[in-house]
Structure 1
C-alpha cells in the first residue's frame, strides 16, 4: 500500500493505492538488459533480482552459480551437437508459478 503519492513506470500511484509486483517481470527491464528473453551464455553481469536482494538474498545463490559454471561446460562437452529441436519455436515458460522458468525446451543432438 503506497504511503505517499509517487510515480512508478510513468503511472501515478496515490496514497493508499495497492501496488502488486510481478516476479516473472522483475528481470525484464529493457533499460537494464537488452535481449533479456534470449539465452546468451557470453553475456556479462546483469543487475537482476533473481536471487533477491539485501537481507532477502538467496542463501543458495553461490551454489546455483557454481552449478551452472560446472554443468554448462560439462553438458556441451558430453553433447557437442546439442541444439534446439526447432530453432524457430519459442520455449514454453511457466507463467503462473511462484518460481518462473521453462516448462519445456525440446532439443536434439
Structure 2
C-alpha cells in the first residue's frame, strides 16, 4: 500500500505524493516566511522530517516504512448495550483522594450529606 503525503507552506499546498518526493520538494522550497507542514494523507498525522544535508542524505534518513494508517476497529463480537460505556473506574477513585473520603465519612451524616 503506497501512502501519499502532502506538504503545505502556510495555506498553500506545496507538494503531494510519496514521502521521498514530498521531502525533496520541501527541501527545494528552502526557507520561507510561512511555516511548512507535512501530513500523511491516510491518517492526517503530521510528519517531522530532518531535511539537513544533500538529497541522498535526506532520502537515507526517511523512515523505511511510513506509519501505518489507522485501520478501523473490528466490530465487537457482542452488540453494545444502551447508555454510557463502562470504563472500569469507580467515581470515588477519581473525584477525591482516600483521605478526603475518610474525612467526609467521619463527618456527621457521612459523605452523602
TM-score range, shorter chain: under 0.3
TM-score by length of 2: 0.21
**Which of the pair is proportionally richer in helix?**
2
